[in-house]
C-alpha cells in the first residue's frame, strides 16, 4: 500500500508539471517532428552523469542507476534496476492532431523475473515509455498510457493498472525475443487513446521512462535511444525518402 501511495503521489506531481507545460506552451511553426530526446544533450549538472538536460528523476524504491553511454558512436540512455523502481520525466507539449505518432528505440538485456502488468503484485517491467494527458480542471482527471516491454504479459495486451486507475498499459513487446537487440517502435498515440478511452485525445503534456523490479525482487536492464513524435508513420517517411 505504501508503494501504491508513493506511485500515486508521483504521478500527481507529474500531472501538475505536465499541466503547467500545456498552460505555458505557445503555438510555433508546424514541424514534422516534436523531439523528446536523443540523449545527446548536455547534462543538467556538468559534474553529474545521472540526468540528461531537462529530465527529472523520481525514485520510489532502491537507488537510481542511470547512465548516458556510447553505443555505435552515439549516446543512449542506460537504465538498471536491482529491486528498485525509478522513473525519468520530461515535460513536452504535443498536439496529436499534428503529431499523432510516437517513435522510439529501445533495447532490453535483462527482464524482471515473471514481471506481469496484469498483476498488481508483479507489476515490474524492464522498460516502459509513458505518455501523460493532463485534463482540466483537476489533476485527478489526467490519464496515462504506458507502452511496455513485458516479461510475461502477451504482446498486444491492453490492461488498466491495478495500482493506479488512471494508467492503461499497452504491451508492445513481450519476453526474450530480440534480447540484446535494438528495436525501433512506433505507435499512433491518438488512435490508442481513442481505442482505450472512447474519446478524442487531448494534447500530450509529458513523457516518462520507467524501469522497476521491486515487486519481483529481481533485476532488469534496458536502454533507450531516439524518442520523438511525428506527423507521418515510419513507413510513409520511408516511402517519401525513396
pLDDT score, position 59: 87
pLDDT score, position 239: 40
pLDDT tens for 176-198 read 889 999 999 999 999 999 999 99
The answer as to CATH 2.60.40 being correct for domain 2-22+32-236 is no
How would residue 202 be classed by pLDDT, with cut points 50, 70 and 90?
very high
pLDDT tens for 42-88 read 444 444 456 777 899 988 888 888 999 988 888 999 999 999 889 99
What are the φ/ψ torsions at residue 111 (nearest 5 degrees)? -110, 150
pLDDT, average across residues 16-44: 61
Q: Which percentage of the chain shows pLDDT scores above 70?
A: 78
Identify the helix (H) or strand (E) that includes residue 72.
Answer: none
Long-range contacts of 163-170 (CB under 8 A, 24+ apart): 163/3, 163/4, 163/7, 163/120, 163/123, 164/4, 164/7, 164/8, 164/11, 166/11, 166/140, 166/142, 167/11, 167/130, 167/143, 168/143, 168/144, 168/196, 169/117, 169/145, 170/145, 170/146
Q: What's the pTM?
A: 0.83
pLDDT tens for 207-236 read 999 999 999 999 999 999 999 999 987 655
Amino acid at each position: 500500500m505504501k508503494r501504491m501511495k508513493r506511485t500515486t503521489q508521483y504521478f500527481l506531481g507529474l500531472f501538475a508539471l505536465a499541466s503547467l507545460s500545456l498552460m505555458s506552451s505557445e503555438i510555433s511553426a508546424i514541424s514534422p517532428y516534436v523531439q523528446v530526446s536523443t540523449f545527446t544533450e548536455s547534462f543538467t549538472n556538468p559534474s553529474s552523469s545521472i540526468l540528461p538536460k531537462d529530465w527529472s528523476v523520481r525514485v520510489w524504491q532502491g537507488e537510481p542507476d542511470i547512465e548516458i553511454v556510447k553505443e555505435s558512436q552515439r549516446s543512449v540512455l542506460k537504465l538498471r534496476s536491482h529491486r528498485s523502481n525509478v522513473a525519468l520525466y520530461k515535460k513536452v507539449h504535443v498536439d496529436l492532431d499534428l503529431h499523432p505518432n510516437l517513435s522510439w528505440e529501445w533495447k532490453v538485456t535483462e527482464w524482471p523475473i515473471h514481471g506481469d502488468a496484469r498483476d498488481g503484485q508483479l507489476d515490474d517491467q524492464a522498460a516502459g515509455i509513458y505518455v501523460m494527458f493532463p485534463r482540466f480542471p483537476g489533476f485527478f482527471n489526467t490519464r496515462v498510457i504506458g507502452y511496455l516491454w513485458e516479461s510475461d504479459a502477451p504482446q498486444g495486451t491492453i490492461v488498466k493498472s491495478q495500482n493506479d486507475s488512471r494508467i492503461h498499459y499497452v504491451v508492445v513487446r513481450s519476453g526474450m525475443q530480440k534480447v540484446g537487440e535494438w528495436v525501433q517502435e512506433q505507435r499512433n498515440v491518438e488512435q490508442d487513446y481513442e481505442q482505450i478511452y472512447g474519446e478524442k485525445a487531448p494534447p500530450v503534456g509529458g513523457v516518462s521512462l520507467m524501469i522497476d523490479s521491486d515487486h519481483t525482487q529481481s533485476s532488469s536492464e534496458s536502454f533507450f535511444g531516439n524518442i520523438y513524435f511525428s506527423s507521418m508513420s515510419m513507413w510513409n517517411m520511408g516511402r517519401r525518402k525513396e
